[in-house]
Amino acid sequence: MALKVPPVEPVRDGLWSVPVVIPDNPLGYTLVYLFETPSGPVLVDNGWDDPRSMAALRNGVAETGHSLDDVYGVLLTHVHPDHHGLSGKVRDVSGAWIAMHPEDAWIVSMRRNTDDGWLLQTAAVMLSAGAGESDLADLPDLSVLHAHRPDPPALPTRLFADGDIVDVPGWTVRAIWTPGHSPGHTCFAVDGLLLSGDHVLPRISPHIGLYDEASDADPLGDYLASLDKLRSESVTEVLPAHVSRFAPLEPRLSSLAAHHEERLAAIVASLAGGALTTWEITAAMPWNRRWEDIVPFMKRAALGEAVAHLRHLERRGLVERVPGAWPTAYRLVPTPAG
Ligand SMILES: [Zn+2]
Ligand SMILES: [Zn+2]
C-alpha cells in the first residue's frame, strides 16, 4: 500500500517541495526540493527512472512556475535510484550540472561496469552466509529484472566535499557529509532547514548495508557517527526525502540510534547459546514480520543489514568470526576472566 502523494507546496519563499511518485513502491514518492535561483531552478534529488515519475517531476516543477527545461543544477543527497534515477534525463532536457559526493560517484561507476557479475556475486554472498538453495530460488528472475532496468545511472559532472557551500545562487547551502545509508550520503543545511535525504526520516529507519563485501567498511558505525554529527546543527525544520517534513530533529536522532542499539543487543543475545551462521543470525533478528513470511528479495536486504550490524559488533570487540567456518559464522568474544 503506497502512501498518498502530497501536493506541490512552498516550504519557504523560493523553496518548494515537489513530490515525485515512485511507481509500485510502498515508499510512495520522493520529496524533491526546488530552489529558485537567478540562474534557474536547482533540484535536490529527482526520482525513479520511470515515465510516470518523469511526468510527475515535469508537472510538479511547472506547478512552481518553472520549467524542467530551465533547471540549472541537480544536487544529490545520494546515489539511490529513487533520488538519482532521473538525473540523466533532467540533464538531457536542461543541460543542468549533476553534483554528488565522490563516495557515491564511485558507486555510479561501479554500477555502470559490473552488471554481468551481479547474479553470481549475489549468489556467492548468500551462500557464504549460510543461505539454503530455496533462498536462492528467485535469483534468475531478479537478474532479468536487473538487466531490463532503465538506463544506467548518470555520471555526475561535479563533486562536492563535506562543508562545501554548493552552487545555489542567492542561497547559502552547505553540504554535510553523512555516510551510512550510502557511503557518500549528504545532507544540506540552509537557513535553519536541514534537507536530510534518507539519513533521517520520520517513522522509517533507513536501510544500512554493505556496498563492497571485500572492503573493511563499517557502514553502521558511519551511520551512528553521522547521526551524532547533526547534533551540533541548529535546525528548525527537517526536510526529508520521504514521508513528510518534521521537527524537532534531536529526538529523531536519538530514536534512530536506539533502534540500532536494540538490534545490536538482539544479535549479541542470539549468540549466547553458541556460534551461528550469518544467515541464522539474520533470521533471528527482529524484523517487522515473521522471517518465514519475508519474500526472498527482502531477505537479501535483511542479510545486508545483518552483516552491517555484525561488522560493527566486531569493531566494538563483542563478536568475532569463527576461524575457518564455512558458511561464515560468528560467536561472542569471550570476556576475560577477573
Ligand atoms: Zn536511499
Ligand atoms: Zn530514498
78 Cα to the center of ligand 1, angstroms:
7
320 and 235 within one domain = no
H or E stretch covering 193: strand 193-197
Asked whether residue 1 is domain-assigned, the answer is no
Residue corresponding to grid cell 534557474:
40
335 Cα to the center of ligand 1, angstroms:
37
Neighbours of ion ligand 1 (CB under 5 A): 80, 198
130 and 66 within one domain = no
Of 256, 286, 308, at which residue does a domain stop? 256
86 and 48 within one domain = yes
- Give me the amino acid identity at 232: S
73 and 199 within one domain = yes
- Which ligand is closest to the CA of 46, given by its number? 2
Given a contact cutoff of 8 angstroms between Cβ atoms, the answer to whether 87 and 97 are in contact is no
pLDDT of res. 250:
98
Q: Can you list the residues of the chain whose pLDDT is less than 70? A: 1-2, 112-118, 140-150, 337-338
251 and 289 within one domain = no
Q: 275: domain range?
A: 116-147+270-331
- Which ligand is closest to the CA of 207, given by its number? 1
pLDDT of res. 307:
95
Asked whether residue 199 is domain-assigned, the answer is yes
Asked whether residue 171 is domain-assigned, the answer is yes
137 and 92 within one domain = no
49 and 194 within one domain = yes
Of 256, 291, 322, at which residue does a domain stop? 256
Cite the beta strand spans of 36-86 per DSSP E. Answer: 42-44, 73-75
pLDDT of res. 331:
98
pLDDT of res. 334:
86
pLDDT of res. 156:
95
166 and 139 within one domain = no
143 and 159 within one domain = no
Q: Tell how strand 15-21 and strand 9-12 pair up.
A: antiparallel
pLDDT of res. 56:
98
pLDDT of res. 266:
96
Given a contact cutoff of 8 angstroms between Cβ atoms, the answer to whether 142 and 289 are in contact is no
pLDDT of res. 298:
83
Of 232, 256, 280, at which residue does a domain stop? 256
| Cα distances (angstroms) measured from residue 158 to each of 45, 167, 241 | 14, 10, 21
Global pTM value: 0.93
Torsion angle defined by CA atoms of residues 22, 177, 306 and 213, in that order, rounded to the nearest 10 degrees: 100
Given a contact cutoff of 8 angstroms between Cβ atoms, the answer to whether 50 and 150 are in contact is yes
